[in-house]
Amino acid sequence: MAESNLAADIKRNLKTELIGKKIIAYLSLSSTNDIAKRQAKKGSREGTVVVAEEQTAGRGRLKRAWLSPKGSIALSIILHPTPDQLPSLIMVASLAVARCIEEVSGLETQIKWPNDVLVKGKKVCGILIESDVRGSAVDYAVIGIGINVNLKPADFPEIAATATSLSNELGGELSLPEVIRCLLVEVENLYLAVPEGDIVFREWRDRLVMLGKEVELISGKAKYKGVAETVASDGSLLLRQPDGQLMKIVAGDVSLRQ
């Protein structure tokens, strides 16, 4: 695994106190999350970032593959949250991406429950959070983030209909180190705000595009239809079914009904 000079470029003018104080950068990796978990088990400090210029076997939610060619962002952040903070990480990650995209590009973003970030209705980011919980303690958590920055969706038929990129929407490329610096600052600000109350939860909830609308939802092998009424503070979706019952969905894939 050849190392990359990207770490030095990111650290230049990086204004954080925790996230990104240690950055490990590679030219190509199978999965930044796998390397980050390995680093966490070795005792790497909280806030350590693993980043790759190219990811060859990236993973998304629900065991889906995540495409990360050169020009995209693929990074993972090691954290040590308390058990109470663990459910908030999906909110921290998706909000950080949404805020960052709006700051560096001016593009408007939305979040599709639980943590897909959309631009003009198409997916621009994938997030995968993995953790090691032992008894009542969280040994570590890893936030994996992939953002389509300088990528031509038309070059990848498997995602062309459902995904977009920042360069595709703007008509020009962005600086990857600049986007990553912004992202790490936003992750830190939101992560440190989690213990202060429900500020992060409220902003995440208010950005969700599905709330109040009729949706179809797949959770495991089960399919449901109803109105995405609201979300709970633990991140679960409250679905009002056609018979009037309110169902709590912890994990799944949701789409608007046509």
In tens, the pLDDT along 173-183 reads 999 999 999 99
Q: What is the CATH number of domain 214-256?
A: 2.30.30.100
Question: By the 8 A CB rule, do 28 and 2 touch?
Answer: yes
Instruction: Give tens-digit pLDDT for 160-197.
Output: 889 999 999 999 999 999 999 999 999 999 999 999 88
- Let me know if the fold of 6-207 is the same as that of 214-256: no
Q: What is the CATH number of domain 6-207?
A: 3.30.930.10
Containing 246, the helix (H) or strand (E) segment is strand 246-249
What is the pLDDT at residue 68?
A: 72
The residue ranges of every structural domain in the chain are 6-207, 214-256
